[in-house]
Structure 1
Amino acid sequence: MHGVRIETDRLILRPTAADDFDAWAECMADPEVNRFLGGPQPRAVAWRNFMTMAGCWSLQGFGMFSVIERSTGRWVGRLGPWHPEGWPGDEIGWGLMRDTWGKGYASEGAAATMDWAFDTLGWTQVIHSINPENHASIGVARKLGSTLLGPGKLPAPFEDDVVDLWGQTREQWFARRRR
């Protein structure tokens, strides 16, 4: 699984690598990027979360992909499959560097990872846990064809976070993709 590589028109998606950390820490320190993701993280906290993602790949065989911009080779975010203990479902999530917002990278990468999660991981449904005020992520979810499933409840220490669950089934995803 660690050799997984997905290429889209503009992105390379691959598992987390040690060389990604400086860009990861920069992204996680940005207050606007992390407004709906628990707030900015100091470098030491970002390191722990970075290692969590690397551990997901080692122990679960999947995790969010590092997003590499094909035209520059630059790390620009992370997105893809995520299912921590107690999570309300199999999630496809995203978080990208602010200077890439509005380019369609989140929907392009999320679509590729949804294909991969359904085909390779055998997932039957995906969710996106989104704060109701995060209009940009709601737009991505809608562009992917996901619909509002209702309010969600995250496990501790996120139990007080307000999230709506958006999502769709494997059948819904592939019926839409065939159109």
Structure 2
Amino acid sequence: MTTLSVDIPVLETERLILREPRMSDFEAHAAFAASERARFVGGPFDRWGAWRGFSSAVGHWMLFGYGFWVVEDKASGATAGRVGVIKPEGWSEPELGWHIYEGFEGRGLAHEAALMARDHAQGPMGFAPLISHIDPQNTRSRALAERLGATIEREGELLGHPVLIYRHAKVPA
């Protein structure tokens, strides 16, 4: 029998823990995936689609050694979203992405999580400045990218949909 394993670093901010995905996180992910909030990431999805997205995030860590962390709210212990670096089939380069779940938006958690993930990716993980593919109509995500210091590099297309490709600034060493 072959054993697969991956070491997923645990990162902490003042209010958040960025950690490995667990089965106990699936219900929060499935609720997000089924909601209108998932429209900018190809959704809404039925439960099977949510499962594929959840399990592929785990597989991404196994195959590449990086991926989406689960964002856990320290105060409540609840699953608040996910953030990280992905490069699925068809992506031109690694992308910094984020999803904050209902009930956790509007408190700066996405900024806090994305900042930690970006800095860790460009620091210890050795990534060059990352991109983010953002739907032109996703004003909240665009505002977050800009708050992180990213700027529009070009227009593009991802999975048949127009996107703005934001380039994140190089993090000082």
Counterpart CA distance in 1 for 2:75 and 2:66 is: 25
Further displaced range: 88-97 or 106-115: 88-97
Q: CA shift at 1:3, angstroms?
A: 4.2
Task: Pick from 22, 27, 30 the counterpart of residue 27 of structure 2.
Answer: 22
Residue deviations 1:39-67, cap 9 Å, x none?
21111111111110000111111111101
Aligned residue in 1 for 2:3 = none
How is 1:15-164 mapped onto 2 (pairs within 5 angstroms)? Answer: 15-31=20-36, 33-154=37-158, 158=159, 160-164=160-164
Q: CA shift at 1:169, angstroms?
A: 4.4
Q: CA shift at 1:100, angstroms?
A: 1.2
Q: CA shift at 1:86, angstroms?
A: 2.3
Q: What is the TM-score when the length of structure 1 is the normalising length?
A: 0.89
Paired-residue identity, %: 36
Runs of 4+ in 1 over 2 A off after TM superposition: none
Q: Match of 2:17, SS?
A: strand
Instruction: Give the residue type in structure 1 aligned to 2:91.
Output: W
Counterpart CA distance in 2 for 1:124 and 1:131 is: 23
What is the root-mean-square deviation in Å for CA atoms of aligned residues? 1.4
Instruction: Give the residue type in structure 2 aligned to 1:165.
Output: I
Q: CA shift at 1:153, angstroms?
A: 2.6
Counterpart CA distance in 2 for 1:50 and 1:148 is: 29
Given that residues 88 and 153 in structure 1 are in contact (C-alpha distance below 8 angstroms), is that contact kept between their aligned partners in structure 2?
no
Q: CA shift at 1:134, angstroms?
A: 0.7
Counterpart CA distance in 2 for 1:168 and 1:76 is: 23
- Number of aligned residue pairs: give it: 168
Q: Match of 2:39, SS?
A: coil
Given that residues 148 and 168 in structure 2 are in contact (C-alpha distance below 8 angstroms), is that contact kept between their aligned partners in structure 1?
no
Q: Match of 1:109, SS?
A: helix
Q: What is the TM-score when the length of structure 2 is the normalising length?
A: 0.92
Distance 1:3 1:93, change over 3 A: closer
Name structure 1 gaps, 5 residues minimum: none
Further displaced range: 83-92 or 105-114: 83-92
Instruction: Give the residue type in structure 2 aligned to 1:134.
Output: N
Q: Match of 1:153, SS?
A: strand
Q: Match of 1:115, SS?
A: helix
